[in-house]
Amino acid sequence: MAEAKEYDLIVVGTGPGGYVAAVRAVQLGFTVACVEKEARPGGVCLNVGCIPSKALLDSSEHFIQAKEKFQDHGIRFEGISFDLTAMMKRKDKVVADLTDQVRKLLERNAIDIVSGTASLAGPHEVAVITEGGGERILKAKNILLATGSAPIEVPGQAFDGKVIVDSTGALSFDAVPDHLVVVGGGYIGLELGSVWRRLGAAVTVVEMLPRIAATLDGHVNRALERVLKKQGMTFHLNTRVSGAEVKDGKAAVTIEGKDGSSTLACDRVLVAVGRRPLTRGLNLEPVGVETDERTGHVRVNSRYQTRVDSIYAVGDLIPGPALAHKASAEGVAAVENMAGIPGEVNYDALPAVVYTWPEAASVGITEETAKERKIPYCTGTYPFSGAARARCMGETEGFVKLICHSRTDRILGVHILGPHAAEMIAECVLAMEFGAGSEDIARAVHGHPTLSEALMEAAQAARKCSIYTS
């Protein structure tokens, strides 16, 4: 066994939680090593998550724009088609370029990248099994666990990597499926369903709950369902998949809804019912790190510290939404806490985006939550059909809905379905970080013509002074 080396911090996992934390730690004067079991850094986000999915969403949306929307602008194409191999190659290049950038970032900051699978060997020790099967022990004052999550596999719908796939499989089909059944109407299912629908597949989404994207405000998820139906997606809500049989490269998916049970014949099944924290093999319990019996998440305090003082955890491994920016913010906060600087994440102002087209973006509480918590609130809504810029773009679907406290005026949540909602939500996050009221947004002068004028109008509507809805 090779000799032990002592660091200030060992980070396990180089996803957006791990690598961002590692760089912040160097800024704070720490010596840092990152252990990563995959060949490329960047975690799920860069390799098989946010980035490849957005690359395919962008490519497939360009195709649909050219095929269906450019005529409205007076632009004509003859015989428009796409090259799936080229599209996949482009996606792979975006991933390769970005993961390469992360590797260079770590190297530039003199962070040791240790290849291998890590497990805890003590409060200050990490054992790493390298590719050749050898073991190395690394020592550090602090350890940050950022091993992320993996797709949940459902009994009776086990992934076979060909017909029944997880999100990683659905990012790399070698041909457009004739019929793709998506199990789970969350953001991953809707985004990947959108990619293949745009490229010509029939797409059927089966969701156990009465709503798709159930964490979104009810107005938004109902409107999103209508838009996606118009784009040709089929939905079975309040419906459970009870099994999937594969034969000769096809699947028969059994579904059970209020009208009884039936079978969907398809050639690909994407099971996207959620993700579970990746704790297997980390040797948590013997070292004293606690996990939640029900969800498997690592338990941490408000400083991201586990029950063992020197061991911290962030990202998909701990409770909360599985989002890359949450993981990064927690990584920074955890390391700042280690350094004695108060580090925290404002979960009340954490944005979430569904990258369908139009996009759905939100921050803060939904109207349903405001009701549940008996918070006195008022809302202001403004449609993109009333925004001049959206008209110029030919993108009039959707609306902005702002929820504010009816006594203090403080903004409690903003929910947007519309073009570039993902970019628009940043202004709302900032407003909430500053404790803004609807009056602040209503009075702030917004450039004309812009999509964000719809946000200003929604804020004015909440104050009953919207110009265009008078």
Helix or strand (DSSP H, E) at 336: helix 324-338
Give the DSSP letter of residue 318. Answer: S
By CB under 6 A, is residue 167 in contact with ligand FAD?
A: yes
Tell which one of 106, 201, 216, 322 touches ligand FAD (CB under 6 A): 322
Helix (H, G, I), strand (E, B) or coil at 408: coil
How near is the Cβ of 254 to ligand FAD at its closest, in Å? 25
In the region spanning residues 268 to 297, those forming contacts with ligand FAD, defined by CB under 6 A, are 278, 281-282
How near is the Cβ of 337 to ligand FAD at its closest, in Å? 17
Q: What is the spatial distance between Cα 374 and Cα 104, in angstroms, rounded to a whole number?
A: 50
Q: What is the 3-state secondary structure (H, E, C) of 25-47?
A: HHHCCCCEEEEECCCCCCHHHHH
Window of 146-154, 220-228, 392-400, 447-455 that interacts with ligand FAD by CB under 6 A: 146-154
Q: Are 375 and 367 in contact (CB under 8 A)?
A: no
Q: What is the spatial distance between Cα 417 and Cα 419, in angstroms, rounded to a whole number?
A: 7
In the region spanning residues 333 to 372, those forming contacts with ligand FAD, defined by CB under 6 A, are 355
How many chain residues interact with ligand FAD (CB under 6 A)?
A: 37
Tell which one of 146, 400, 417, 441 touches ligand FAD (CB under 6 A): 146
How near is the Cβ of 194 to ligand FAD at its closest, in Å? 12
Contact flags string 27-56 toward ligand FAD, x per CB under 6 A: --------xxxx----xxx---xx--x---
Window of 92-100, 253-261, 319-327, 402-410 that interacts with ligand FAD by CB under 6 A: 319-327
Window of 95-103, 240-248, 310-318, 425-433 that interacts with ligand FAD by CB under 6 A: 310-318
- Per the DSSP assignment, residues forming a β-bridge with 360 are 354, 417
Helix or strand (DSSP H, E) at 187: helix 187-198
By CB under 6 A, is residue 18 in contact with ligand FAD?
A: yes
Q: Which of 98/317 has CB closer to ligand FAD?
A: 317
Q: Is the peptide bond before 52 cis (omega within 30 degrees of 0)?
A: no
Q: Are 35 and 147 in contact (CB under 8 A)?
A: no
Q: What is the spatial distance between Cα 79 and Cα 62, in angstroms, rounded to a whole number?
A: 15
Q: What is the spatial distance between Cα 2 and Cα 307, in angstroms, rounded to a whole number?
A: 29
Instruction: Please tell me which residue in 62, 219, 446, 448 is annotated as part of the active site.
Output: 448
Residue 405 a catalytic site member:
no
By CB under 6 A, is residue 190 in contact with ligand FAD?
A: no
68-74 contacts at long range (C-beta below 8 A, 24 or more positions apart): 69/394, 72/394, 73/394
How near is the Cβ of 99 to ligand FAD at its closest, in Å? 10
How near is the Cβ of 18 to ligand FAD at its closest, in Å? 5
How near is the Cβ of 465 to ligand FAD at its closest, in Å? 35
Window of 8-16, 241-249, 372-380, 461-469 that interacts with ligand FAD by CB under 6 A: 8-16
How near is the Cβ of 95 to ligand FAD at its closest, in Å? 12
Structure tokens at 145: 């666990």
By CB under 6 A, is residue 184 in contact with ligand FAD?
A: no
Cα–Cα separations (whole angstroms), residue 301 to 59, 313, 335, 348, 470: 42, 10, 14, 17, 49
Q: Is the peptide bond before 358 cis (omega within 30 degrees of 0)?
A: yes
By CB under 6 A, is residue 12 in contact with ligand FAD?
A: yes
The residues of the shown chain that bind ligand FAD, judged by CB under 6 A, are 12-18, 35-38, 43-45, 49-50, 53, 117-118, 146-149, 167, 188, 278, 281-282, 315-317, 322-325, 327, 355
Catalytic residue numbers, as ranges: 448
